[in-house]
A and B are shown apart, each in its own frame.
Chain A
Amino acid sequence: MSSSPERLRPFFVGYLPIPKTLRGFAAFLSLALGLVGMLIAVGLSHGQNAPRTGVFEFGRESSLEGTIAVTPAPMLWTRSESGVATPVLLVGQWKFGADDVVSAFDGASVEIRGTRIMDGDMQLFEVAGSTDAVRPSPSPAPSAPTPEWTGGEHSVLRGEIIDPKCFFGVMKPGYGKVHKGCATRCISGGIPPMLWVRHATSHESFYLLVGPDDTPARDLSLPFIAEPVEIQGRVQTVEGAPFSIMRISDNAIRRIR
């Protein structure tokens, strides 16, 4: 212990003026923190997954005309000018299905007010919350019969169970583990579960999961939402529909990892 006294360094006391020699360092530190903060923000923000291109026309009410089918899930069959029928899945407000709102109109030609959800060919419609959101169609034409889902080939498919309302535009992302809680609430609340199958060629396909009672297989799906699963069932299609339905029974779903 024979060293000479250390040169006095500037001493900071919070309630006294900051020493001049520390001011420069404090200014440098502030600038450096700001710069590092900006760089981190750029990296993390730019590095987010690219969201799907679906659109939820929030705050913009529309109306649709068509024929309601309550089974296997609430949907509105609309017809193009060429006469091709296209199903529009109906969902309720927030995290609820549309069953209660449309069940009285099964097979009827109606006009529905609400908000459109679109992703490519897939169309959904969030029925407005007012009591008169669904009413008989003003068009004098009689309601057209809804197309039948045909086929029934036994298939084994791998994918993820999603809630279509969030997936196709309301939330981004509307899939994956982070969204699992929301998807669980949506499906528990009545939105029909769907299987999202990603193929090797960036192609994807969708299957509405339908239970033995010809209604959405909500209870069968709930334990497996947002997890990689393998599902066995019978697949049915309708020409022109952007999704198929998959009829499943108990124990049809299993985790694959």
Chain B
Amino acid sequence: MSASYRAVNWNRFKRRYDLAFLSLLVIYAATFVAVALLAHPESTAETVMIRTLGTAALLFLHITLSIGPLSRLSPRFLPLLYNRRHLGVLTFCIALLHAALSLFQFHAGGDVNPFVSLLVSNTRYDSLSQFPFEILGIGALLILALMAVTSHDFWLANLSPRAWKSIHMLVYPAYVLVVMHVALGALQDSRTPALAIALSAGATWLAVIHILAGAKAAILDRRRSDETGDHLIAVGEVSEFSPGCARLAHTPDGGIAVFRYGGNGEWLAAMSNVCAHQGGPLAEGRIVDGCVTCPWHGYQYRPESGGSPPPYDEVLPTYQVTLRGNQVLVDPAARPLDAPATPVRLDVGRER
């Protein structure tokens, strides 16, 4: 959380996260180069570097794209999600280096400007086998650049979370462009199956975890909360609420998170399930230091008001909770931001 914008809000975990992925890059690159020198000693250094960076960018793009669905499948992967933007920026930097080295290697030192050469050296757009694969890589790189530039919370706040999310969903078209860039480029010249196996295994892996995550979300969506005759939504019995945790009331606009909180779990309050930051699912969060805490990036809201603790100023809509016997009900009509719902006090001594 931040009340003002800084280049990077570093903390201990972010440093370790970045160090871990930089280490992975170093390990990958060192292994690739070492094996190339041993297995193909006639290789030229620039070709080895271009291939090291290209395949590393592909690997890191796969990791970046895996984090979302893995986090949906198991919350144990949520630490990977916390700093995913840094991983995305690192992926872009690797891809940019690959592109810069390739531009220099294949197009510099000739009779036309390298950037012009890049665009005019192959114009066989009429042929699949001869298609200029470079243009596909350029398209992917431009998307990754747009994502890297707008990755900061400044842009998230100023573009609105919905627009920001739309921009960052472009990572999927970028992935398709990258796969085609490889398939219509390096793969066509390859006389061994290694690259084809890696590319298809990566695509299969991503498809499987996205389908599994989608199936899990669909199953959860089918568990519709019970609507009562008076338009209230039944969320469960009091005994089903763990102190410090929430249950989700399904609504068309992302759901309502009904939290049980307090020193003895004696309060119930409800707020929007959609975090103001990146739309994280608050019902999967927890009460930390008396505040509802988003599982994605730790944004916090006071359950009794929906507002972030000072100096932060995010406010989420609240919803009125009522009890009918042991049954917890919530009114799906959001309360005005300046007139939040009243939390319900439980008689914890009488709870079954």
Using a CB–CB cutoff of 8 Å, the interface residues on chain A facing chain B are 1-6, 8-9, 11-16, 18, 22, 25-26, 29-30, 33-34, 37-38, 40-53, 56, 93-96, 171-173, 176-182, 184-186, 188-190, 227, 257
Q: How many A-B residue pairs have CB under 8 A?
A: 198
- A41 near B24 (CB under 8 angstroms)? no
Q: B215-252 toward A: CB 8 Å interface, digit per residue (1/0)? A: 00000000000100000001111011110110000000
Is there a chain A Cβ closer than 8 Å to B129's Cβ?
yes
- A189 near B39 (CB under 8 angstroms)? no
For A96, list chain B residues within 8 Å (CB): 109-111
- B14 near A14 (CB under 8 angstroms)? yes
- B112 near A185 (CB under 8 angstroms)? yes
Interface size class of B (residues with CB under 8 A): 35 or more
Known: A33-B63, A38-B27, A45-B36. 15 other contacts (CB 8 A): A14-B82, A18-B79, A22-B76, A41-B27, A41-B32, A43-B197, A43-B198, A44-B198, A45-B35, A49-B190, A50-B40, A96-B109, A171-B47, A184-B122, A185-B111
Task: Give the interface centre of A40, A46, A53 by most chain B CB atoms within 10 Å.
Answer: A40
Is there a chain A Cβ closer than 8 Å to B204's Cβ?
no
In the bound complex, how far is the Cα of B79 from the Cα of A3, in angstroms?
28
- A181 near B106 (CB under 8 angstroms)? yes
For A172, list chain B residues within 8 Å (CB): 42-44, 47
- B237 near A2 (CB under 8 angstroms)? yes
- B298 near A184 (CB under 8 angstroms)? no
For A12, list chain B residues within 8 Å (CB): 75, 78-79, 82, 295
Stretch at the interface among B160-168, B181-189, B306-314: B181-189
Interface positions of B from 182 to 209, Cβ below 8 Å from A: 184-186, 188-195, 197-198
- A34 near B121 (CB under 8 angstroms)? no
In the bound complex, how far is the Cα of B71 from the Cα of A115, in angstroms?
56
Q: A11-B288, A14-B79 are in contact. Are A185 and B242 (CB under 8 A)?
A: no
Interface positions of B from 41 to 95, Cβ below 8 Å from A: 42-44, 47, 51-52, 55, 59, 63, 75-80, 82-83
Task: Give the interface centre of B13, B193, B295 by most chain A CB atoms within 10 Å.
Answer: B13
Q: A15-B13, A42-B35, A94-B109 are in contact. Are A185 and B239 (CB under 8 A)?
A: no
For B133, list chain A residues within 8 Å (CB): 177
In the bound complex, how far is the Cα of B1 from the Cα of A51, in angstroms?
52
Shortest beta-carbon distance, A20 to chain B, in Å? 13
For A34, give its contact among B23, B36, B130, B242 (CB under 8 Å).
Answer: B23
Q: A37-B59, A43-B194, A188-B111 are in contact. Are A178 and B185 (CB under 8 A)?
A: yes
Interface positions of B from 293 to 329, Cβ below 8 Å from A: 293, 295, 297-298
Of all chain A residues, the one with the shortest Cβ separation from B75 is: A9
- A51 near B240 (CB under 8 angstroms)? no
Shortest beta-carbon distance, B269 to chain A, in Å? 17
In the bound complex, how far is the Cα of B236 from the Cα of A13, in angstroms?
27
For A3, list chain B residues within 8 Å (CB): 240
Of all chain A residues, the one with the shortest Cβ separation from B294 is: A13
Is there a chain A Cβ closer than 8 Å to B98's Cβ?
no
